[in-house]
Structure 1
């Protein structure tokens, strides 16, 4: 009962934040012009963006399958894609404290995957995506400095980039800490996870495909935003989309709002504004991108309705099991021996 009350409070806070940010952005805009941009978007560009974002699900699934294979788990491609789509339904359409990641872990467990592998597989998938995003921001920062004169914006995006690089390096080198610190339960799980990510990036035989897919996914998002920008008549170049959309994606991933609504819109208006895109058009791009995410989530919802696991699903139990196993994972550290064994899986 107390857990549900906390979930309701958290959901309410996130909802209020999303509404407050959207209201704040809309306050200074020409709403009539915004409505015109949304209704007059080029259908061909909208469909192109929809196809691009939907195609991401196949790349996402391929990346996740590689990670699970590195953990010694053979995940059927179609089964993995079905689980991924269902998780998007929970993320986009039914936002809650459970989230799509907990559902992914629960569905893996229903297929016989042990909790430690399910937790590590989903967490490593998320972190690999983050590394790809940070890499694009590192590459794009010098270009941004040459093309944008707003020093405050450059400083903010630069700080985000540096923080991302620093955080990644810290995680990957945690096992270099003194042994007495590594042995602490609060740190040990992060040390093991850092070792897993380092293995995936530096030693896994499919590391090129893994890192390449992480980059490709974010570039596809930038391409979809470029198509939407063109669809509403905004003057945005492909290069500008490539360097300005990654910071938007990074900020949207911060779990402080409902499925990123509000945060994404604020970040999109601020970042595209650096390229001279009017706020009304930038907000239109963000709202249309959000609508596409909801449409794809609905596809996952249809898959979930036909899923045999739906009858035994409990949101509370899935969240508790995922959280308990994420904290209490006491499995041995991941090493090259496990990876070499995993590489023989089909």
Structure 2
């Protein structure tokens, strides 16, 4: 699937231009990106440990870092981009002997990140529309925003009834009762909510910083406005990686770049170049996870 999507993307870009755009990124930028990759893992591991502690599953911080590195590497090499997180939950469940709570700790930690990412992406998209930066959009952006709101309302109208029908099952209802309790403790309570949202915002900022470092190295950034445009477009690239179709978002991320950059009046090769460089850099930064590939999740085993 990944190869097919990437092959389809290459049909819409000029190969020579893409290679030239990637070669514009100087090697020194890689070191800055790798440093940001380390910060991402340490921040994310802290968020996971904080969530697990609230659910009664204490964990040493450096163990959380090791497990997060392993999960990050696994997500980079296996299809779907979530199997590393599943493995992280299973390993923690074996150690803590509380599989459901361990799974909820991972799910809630990831959920807080996705909520913040959606908020950042939607806010940035609304800004692009309102300021008329999307090619063909009205300066006020009222009509375009109206279409976005109607789309969100339509998705809500489809999703909510489905959730209601699923939750009518007694077994599912019992499980969701447990999940609601854990959500209340680890995400929706005070001070859990602001801590989760702030930490997730820092994690998202570190991801966007990698894109911006790459864009700066390629000389795509010329002023503050270009910083905001690139950050918004790249937040949408990050959001596309949530779709579990390929390995680590490869192909889907580049396909979205092919669509988004021309909407800003920019060559699609620039967006694909940033996407490819980002994917390569995140993969390299995840390689320390190999060291923990065969470590046991249970203390003393």
The TM tier, using the shorter chain, reads: 0.7 to 0.9
| CA-CA distance at 1:274 after TM superposition | 3.1
Counterparts of residues 92-241 of structure 1 (less than 5 Å): 92-95=76-79, 99-145=83-129, 146=131, 147-150=133-136, 158=148, 162=152, 166=156, 184-235=170-221, 237-241=226-230
Inter-CA distance 97–249: structure 2 relative to 1 (3 Å threshold): closer
Inter-CA distance 52–166: structure 2 relative to 1 (3 Å threshold): farther
TM-score (norm 1): 0.72
- CA root-mean-square deviation: 3.4
| CA-CA distance at 1:296 after TM superposition | 2.1
| CA-CA distance at 1:123 after TM superposition | 1.1
Instruction: Determine the structure 2 residue equivalent to 1:242.
Output: 231
* Paired residues of 1:45 and 1:227 also in contact (CA < 8 A): yes
Choose the corresponding residue for 1:277, options 244, 266, 271: 266
Choose the corresponding residue for 1:74, options 52, 58, 62: 58
Inter-CA distance 158–220: structure 2 relative to 1 (3 Å threshold): farther
| Residue segments in structure 1 that go unaligned for 5+ positions in a row | 1-16, 311-346
* Paired residues of 1:89 and 1:298 also in contact (CA < 8 A): yes
Choose the corresponding residue for 2:49, options 65, 73, 78: 65
| CA-CA distance at 1:195 after TM superposition | 4.4
TM-score (norm 2): 0.82
Number of aligned residues: 287
* Paired residues of 2:78 and 2:247 also in contact (CA < 8 A): no
- Residues 289-310 of structure 1, C-alpha deviations (whole Å, 9 max, x = no match): 11112112221112325x2459
* Paired residues of 2:44 and 2:203 also in contact (CA < 8 A): yes
Structure-2 separation of matches of 1:195 and 1:251: 30
Structure-1 separation of matches of 2:29 and 2:103: 38
| CA-CA distance at 1:87 after TM superposition | 0.9
Instruction: Determine the structure 2 residue equivalent to 1:302.
Output: 291
- Residues 210-237 of structure 1, C-alpha deviations (whole Å, 9 max, x = no match): 1111112112211211211222233472
* Paired residues of 1:182 and 1:191 also in contact (CA < 8 A): no
Structure-1 separation of matches of 2:182 and 2:146: 30
